[in-house]
């Protein structure tokens, strides 16, 4: 590997010792990843925590073939070494990157195309909070969901990492945003992020609230991470020719629903998961983000909302925080 003179053979990482609760996350020594092809090694300074890490820890979301078994889907840091075919970066460049796993560690490898320059003026902890949600939202809201200026987006889970990103990006690109969240405090946070209407789903029926806010028309696009009985309710809240993009099924992957609504309104219901997609696909999303979203980060028109930062060795506390469900925005690990 080019530039590897100061890289140790072994590193500290946080691994899943066995499927289970947060305490299953244990610090251990691992070999620093070996590079091949166009991969680069990142000396990790901060790593984002995402709900899929929690699912992986519980044994419900195994890493794709060839990916590290360590949790961690996004990092920020400096390029420490280059694979034999890597051309885009130089050793010392500051980057953030989407990883297929392995972010909870001092070193992490990614394909060079899945890294992006550190957004101008961003700290490492801020930058580590960007890739996973921005790649996911860009693809599902704008590419798959086709959101256009002037349309109305309904995003469930408004204070999740995904939700906070979706609200800001949709507003920045000229959409009206309605969101759901589970408390008054969370709804207030959504409004501060720019949402036009925040629905406390524990107090209000979101279908009625969406219809009321849109003069009975419904939402043109719905980003859903809930599933279960939200499937049919989303069909009710959607506008004619509306689109629904499923990115998770936290309330259940199996639903019984009235598909007549889908036909009568000519709805499109699709979905995707990011992690198993190819390096080339992710590289294409990275290029779109760099062109269209990085300028918004540089001016802070859009920025990740940070909830709490924990040291890497206390990753278990970060997972506890996420599972308590009180967080608003992103939880990040400091990998000093």
Ligand X SMILES: NC(=O)c1ccc[n+]([C@@H]2O[C@H](COP(=O)([O-])OP(=O)(O)OC[C@H]3O[C@@H](n4cnc5c(N)ncnc54)[C@H](OP(=O)(O)O)[C@@H]3O)[C@@H](O)[C@H]2O)c1
> Which residues form the interface with ligand X (CB under 6 A)?
50-52, 132, 136, 156-157, 159-163, 181-182, 186, 201, 225-226, 247-248, 250-251, 272-274, 322, 325
Tokens of 242: 């509306």
Give the β-pairing of 238-246 and 268-271: parallel
- Which is nearer to ligand X, 27 or 250 (by Cβ)? 250
CB of 245 to ligand X, least distance (A): 9
CB of 48 to ligand X, least distance (A): 9
Alpha helices, DSSP H only, in 19-130? 51-57, 124-128
CA quadruple 147, 149, 152, 153: dihedral, nearest 10? 40
Tokens of 253: 């992957």
Residue nearest to ligand X (CB): 160
Other beta carbons less than 10 A from residue 185's beta carbon:
12
Distance, in Å, from the CA atom of 317 to the CA atom of 328, rounded to the nearest integer, reads 16
CB of 81 to ligand X, least distance (A): 28
Backbone angles phi, psi at 333, to 5 degrees: -100, 135
- Which is nearer to ligand X, 90 or 203 (by Cβ)? 203
Q: What is the DSSP annotation of 265-280?
A: TT-EEEE--STTS-HH
Rounded to a whole number, what is the distance in angstroms from the first to the last CA of the chain?
A: 23
Distance, in Å, from the CA atom of 194 to the CA atom of 169, rounded to the nearest integer, reads 10
Distances (CA, A) of 306 to 46, 48, 260, 303: 13, 10, 41, 9
- Which is nearer to ligand X, 123 or 273 (by Cβ)? 273
DSSP 3-state helix, strand, coil percentages of the chain (rounded to 5)?
30, 30, 40
- Which is nearer to ligand X, 79 or 221 (by Cβ)? 221
CB of 163 to ligand X, least distance (A): 6
Other beta carbons less than 10 A from residue 246's beta carbon:
21
- Which is nearer to ligand X, 151 or 224 (by Cβ)? 224
CB of 311 to ligand X, least distance (A): 20
CB of 322 to ligand X, least distance (A): 5
- Which is nearer to ligand X, 117 or 228 (by Cβ)? 228
- Which is nearer to ligand X, 107 or 201 (by Cβ)? 201
CB of 8 to ligand X, least distance (A): 31
- Which is nearer to ligand X, 109 or 282 (by Cβ)? 282
Distance, in Å, from the CA atom of 223 to the CA atom of 154, rounded to the nearest integer, reads 6
CB of 32 to ligand X, least distance (A): 27
Other beta carbons less than 10 A from residue 8's beta carbon:
12
CB of 184 to ligand X, least distance (A): 11
Tokens of 250: 């936290």
Which residue is it, tokens 């979101």?
Answer: 206
- Which is nearer to ligand X, 11 or 166 (by Cβ)? 166
């Amino acid at each position: 590997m080019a530039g590897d003179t100061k890289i140790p053979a072994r590193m500290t990482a946080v691994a899943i010792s066995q499927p289970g609760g947060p305490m299953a996350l244990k610090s251990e020594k691992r070999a620093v990843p070996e590079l091949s092809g166009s991969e680069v090694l990142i000396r990790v300074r901060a790593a984002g925590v995402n709900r899929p890490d929690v699912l992986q820890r519980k044994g419900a979301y195994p890493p794709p073939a060839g990916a590290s078994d360590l949790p961690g889907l996004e990092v920020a840091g400096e390029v420490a070494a280059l694979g034999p075919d890597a051309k885009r970066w130089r050793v010392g460049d500051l980057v953030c990157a989407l990883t297929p796993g392995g972010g909870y560690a001092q070193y992490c490898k990614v394909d060079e195309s899945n890294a992006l320059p550190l957004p101008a003026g961003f700290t490492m902890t801020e930058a580590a909070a960007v890739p996973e949600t921005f790649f996911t939202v860009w693809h599902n809201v704008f590419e798959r969901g086709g959101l256009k200026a002037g349309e109305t987006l309904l995003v469930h889970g408004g204070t999740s990492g995904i939700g906070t990103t979706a609200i800001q990006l949709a507003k920045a690109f000229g959409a009206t945003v309605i969101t759901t969240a589970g408390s008054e405090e969370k709804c207030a946070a959504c409004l501060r992020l720019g949402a036009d209407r925040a629905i406390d789903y524990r107090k209000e029926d979101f279908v009625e609230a969406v219809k009321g806010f849109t003069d009975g028309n419904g939402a043109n696009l719905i980003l859903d991470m809930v599933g279960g009985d939200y499937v049919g309710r989303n069909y009710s809240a959607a506008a004619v020719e509306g689109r629904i993009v499923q990115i998770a099924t936290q309330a259940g992957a199996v639903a019984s629903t009235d598909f007549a609504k889908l036909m009568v309104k000519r709805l499109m219901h699709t979905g995707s998961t990011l992690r198993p997609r190819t390096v080339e696909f992710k590289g294409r999303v990275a290029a779109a983000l760099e062109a269209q979203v990085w300028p918004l980060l540089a001016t802070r028109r859009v920025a990740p909302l940070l909830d709490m930062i924990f040291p890497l060795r206390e990753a278990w506390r970060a997972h506890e925080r996420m599972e308590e469900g009180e967080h608003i925005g992103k939880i990040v690990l400091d990998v000093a």
